[in-house]
Every structure is written in structure tokens, then in C-alpha cells.
Amino acid sequence: MKIALVIPVYNEQESLPRLISLLANLCQKSGYEFQWIFVNDGSTDSSTEILLKSAISDNRIRIIQFTRNFGHQAAVTAGLDYACADAVIVMDADLQDPPELIWEMINKFQEGFDIVSPQRLSRIGESRFKLWTASAFYRLMTTLVDQRMQPQVSDFRLYGKVAVYGMRQFREHHRFLRGMAAWLGLKEAVIPFHRAPRLAGKTKYNTRKMLKFAWTAISSFSVLPLKCATVLGVFVILLGVTYFGYAFYMQFGTAGDVPGWTFLACLQIILSGLTLLSLGVMGDYIGRIYEESKGRPLYLIRNLVNLEPVDLPRSIVLNEHNLPQDLLGYGIHRSEACSNG
């Protein structure tokens, strides 16, 4: 049986040597045929050199080299696009996802599950703020957005080949892979584990990136924020009508005056705020439609090591060997183009 490990890498020079030697030991006498697909997501440290050097001596190491940093979700997508195996396991490069858990995952896959998702029972070494926001995020996602999503399951996951094929059908730009995996509706097993701290280096998900990711997750799987604007609008209208009734009663039903401008000023500010907020939410969705309509690639690959280009929509290899002859000759005589090539 063939197993592919997909490992997104962004500036992980401290962790990579340890990870590679650990994987080499782990996969030595397993009886499975392994390939490790490292997706180098535009690293600017020496990760690239470490990977290239390792790939020369070990042909299980495959490298997808992006032209720049396209983000973790794009890197995992490329790995899933290029993996050619019965099962694909996605894991972090920083050893926060324990490699020894892969045997349990493979066993579950062999029992007939299409997806195996390790679930974090604890997350050692992460800040209180990260734990709190992560827990709020999962609660929101599972209750409001998609109930099929498992809480505390990250992108560390095994996809059987049916699931991989399913995942390859999602070609949208704003990606939330955990939601997509749940959306497939395939048979999923959950296995608990304790998440270790990072081996070295810092998390690449700072607060800004985390919030952006959370918003992508919500907006790519739900139109709930748009509906919220409607509900809020109805609520405010009801409030207005109630107050109008009260003012009417005060003016004509009693001898009193309608108390005035402070309330109106507050109302004006609140309503302007709500209107701008709703416009902002709508604008964000429209922006996403705009971005999708451009149909840009999900990632651009500069180099492939021990891998062949695949033919999938929005997946482009941008190097000299992969340019079609016809395109190279664009604008000049065809025979000239061929003789040049």
C-alpha cells in the first residue's frame, strides 16, 4: 500500500532536519511504500536547501516549490493534488503533529474509514489567548456553520484516495480545508491525541492571520453573516416602530412632550453603524465573488523534485520545462519556435 505524507513548509529550517530523520526511522521497516511530499511555501530561510539536499539522497522525498508564499491552505491543496497514493496524511513540519500517530490512522483507514482525524485533547505550549480563540472558533463553526465539523481537529488528517479525489474537486480560492473535508460527508474516524509544543521556531499563524482564517472559514461555508444583517435590520425596525408608538402616545395621549434630540442622535449613530457594518459584510462577499471570477491559479509552482506535473484546474507549474511549445512560439513562426525549442 502506498502512503503519502504531505508536509507544508514555511521557514522551518530548525525543525526540518529532525523531522526528516524521524520520518526516515519511522517509515523504515513498515511494509508500506512511502512518499513524503514537502510543499515549500516560499520559504526564505534555508528550508529550501535542506529539502533539496535531502531529496538527492532519498527519492521518497518529493518537493513542490512555490514561487512565493501562498499560505498554508494552498500548500496543503498542492500536496493533495500531487499525492499519488492509497492514503494521504497531512501534517505540520514543526512536529506538533506526532508522526507515530500515523500507524493508528492507517489502521483506521484499513478498517474502512475514508477520513481519519486526530482530535486534540490538549495543546501544550500554546498561549491562553490562542486556546481561547481556537475554542470559540470551533464552537462557532460546529454550531452555526457546519455541524459535520469535528471540534479541535486541525488539518492533521488522513484522506483515503476517495476523499483525496473528492478534495481535488474544490477549486475555490478562499479555502477552508477542514470544512471541505466535513462537507464531503464521507465516513470519518476521530482519534484523540495530546498536541505537543512546536519543536522550534515560531507559529506562522499570528493573531491577524488567525482572524483572517476564521473569517474565510465562516464566509466560505455560510451566508449567515449576510442573514445576520437582515435579522438585525428587522430588529431595529421593530424597535423604531415601538418607539414611534410611544412618541405618538406621549404627544397625543398625554399632555407631556416627546423627549428629544439626544435619543435621535444616538439612534442616528447606531443606525449608521449598522448600515455600514452590513455594507461591509456584503462588500466582503462581493469581493470574494470578484476574486473567484478572475479564476486565478490557487498556487504557482516554480519547481518539482521527484514529481511530474498534474493536469488540474487552477494548478500551474511555472517553469521553462513546462511551457507548451505553442506558447513559446506565440507571435513568431511555428517552425521557428520549434527550432528554437
Report, in Å, the least distance between residue 114 CB and Mg ion.
25
Q: With binding defined as CB under 5 A, does residue 154 bind Mg ion?
A: no
Look-up: residue for cell 520520518? Answer: 23
Q: What angle do CA 302, 303, 308 make, to 5 degrees?
A: 125
Nearer to ligand UDP, 69 or 133 (CB): 69
Per rule CB under 5 A, count of chain residues that contact Mg ion: 3
Q: How far is CA 221 from CA 56, 134, 148, 176, 253, in A?
A: 41, 18, 12, 8, 51
Positive or negative torsion for Cα 9, 15, 17, 19: negative
Nearer to ligand UDP, 36 or 113 (CB): 36
Nearer to Mg ion, 123 or 173 (CB): 123
Positive or negative torsion for Cα 230, 231, 232, 236: positive
Report, in Å, the least distance between residue 300 CB and ligand UDP.
14
Q: Which residues bind ligand UDP (CB under 6 A)?
A: 8-10, 12, 41, 69, 71-72, 75, 92-94, 96, 203-205
Q: With binding defined as CB under 5 A, does residue 41 bind Mg ion?
A: no
Report, in Å, the least distance between residue 94 CB and ligand UDP.
5
Phi-psi map region of 125: left, alpha, beta (phi>0 left; psi -120 to 50 alpha): left
Nearer to Mg ion, 126 or 146 (CB): 126
Which residues, 6 or more positions from 93, have their beta carbon under 8 angstroms from its beta carbon? Answer: 7, 8, 9, 12, 15, 16, 19, 38
- Cα separation, 97 vs 104, whole angstroms: 13
Q: Which of 12, 14, 94, 188 binds Mg ion (CB under 5 A)?
A: 94
Binding partner of 93, given Mg ion, ligand UDP, none, CB within 5-8 angstroms per partner class: ligand UDP
Look-up: residue for cell 507549474? Answer: 317
Report, in Å, the least distance between residue 93 CB and ligand UDP.
4
Report, in Å, the least distance between residue 248 CB and ligand UDP.
56
User: Which residues of this protein are in contact with Mg ion, per CB under 5 A?
Assistant: 92, 94, 96
